[in-house]
Amino acid sequence: PVAPAASTVPVVTLFIPYRPPYDWGSMVAHLAARALTGLEFVEPGRYLRTVAHALGRGSVEVTPATGLDGLRATLRVSDVRMLPSVLAQVRRVFDVGADVDAIHAHLSGDALLAPLVAARPGLRAPGGWDGFELAVRAILGQQVTVAAARGLGHRLVATFGEPLGLESTGDARLQRAFPLPQVLAAADLTCLGMPASRARTISRLAAEAVADPTLFQPGPSLADTVARFTRLPGIGEWTAQYIALRAVREPDAFPASDVALLRAATGADGQRPTPEALLQRAEAWSPWRAYAAQHLWAADAARPRPPSSRGTHAAAPALLH
């Protein structure tokens, strides 16, 4: 469904180049597995989502630019001054600035990673559309099944997200913006069916985001960035590293306690490393440990295992990888 022909909302289509190769299939699969109804819509050839900006509202559609080394982004915005920041968000989500040849040349020196890089030479590390949104999603996914976490996300958007009309989005499937920090800071989130402790964590994060607009900007170092989040109640090392990886775009972030990473790093002898041992091994992958993590997650996801073993992680949410 599209907007009425009489719509006056500006629509701009831009070409966004990247350094090939680019694994569109893995990227869109990552986004599809996490899409929240009303906020996003994903199909094999395109990604759509709503846009909420201080200057206005709108939507974005991203597709591969057939035959070219780049993506095509159609931005629908109520104020053209939104374009630079929305374009930056698209670039962040789709990780178009990565020099994958240089990154993968470095990672290929490791015997564990070399075959993974060879299998997925265009793999990127997807970013978060918005730092606050990504952090909230990470907290929603703590210690629950994929279905439960996604269900909480759906309810959060449906209950607290700003309704957007067809005039704004241009597509009837795009109906709401992600809730703003000031909304969630004042909301009673227990109505969504999550534990009270998790609701408090989101409320505190929201209040912090309102008080500090630079909360999701890179710090002087990865350690400083991680410490900024672990000081907040309810956010541990794993969640902080994940936020640093996806939202802050720290290329060396590495949530070493993640069960899927540990599982993917299991040796030929069947011995699974400890988080400490994996972190030590990952020192050789620096400064690109986030990309090493993405390859390990992809390898783990592709590994067949019994249905009973899917859906939850003891140390981290399966939804987020």
pLDDT digits (tens, 9 = 90+) for 89-110: 999 999 999 999 999 999 999 9
* Cα–Cα distance, 163 to 215 (Å, whole number): 26
CB 159 within 8 A of CB 192: yes
Task: From 294, 300, 268, 299, select the one nearest 282 (Cα to Cα).
Answer: 294
Classify 11-320 by CATH class.
mainly alpha
The mean pLDDT value for 230-248 works out to: 96
Does position 213 have pLDDT exceeding 80, yes or no?
yes
Grade residue 146 by pLDDT with cuts at 50, 70 and 90: low
Q: Which two tokens stand for residue 122?
A: 């265009």
When mean pLDDT is compared across 43-52, 198-207, 221-230, 262-271, the lowest value belongs to: 262-271
| Residue 292 backbone phi and psi in degrees, to 5 | -60, -45
Burial track 72-92 (b if 16+ CB lie within 10 A, e otherwise) = bbbbbbbeeebbeebbebbbb
Instruction: Give yes or no: 258 in active site.
Output: yes
Least confident piece of the model among 123-137, 144-158, 276-290: 144-158
pLDDT at 267: 85
Condensed to tens digits (0 to 9), the pLDDT of residues 178-196 reads 999 999 999 999 999 989 9
Residue 174: DSSP 8-state: B
Task: Spell out the residues 6+ positions from residue 125 whose beta carbon is closer than 8 angstroms to its own.
Answer: 95, 98, 245, 246, 251, 290, 291, 293, 294
Task: Name the nearest CA neighbour of 168 among 58, 275, 3.
Answer: 58
Pick from 268, 205, 259: which is nearest to 231 by CA? 205
How is the beta sheet containing 40-43 ordered, strand by strand?
11-17, 70-77, 56-64, 46-53, 40-43
- Taking Cα atoms as reference points, which of 314, 307, 309, 298 lies closest to residue 259? 314
The answer to whether residue 317 scores a pLDDT higher than 60 is: no
User: Tens digit of pLDDT for each residue in 271-302?
Assistant: 999 999 999 999 999 999 999 999 999 999 99
- The catalytically annotated residue of 95, 130, 252, 258 is 258
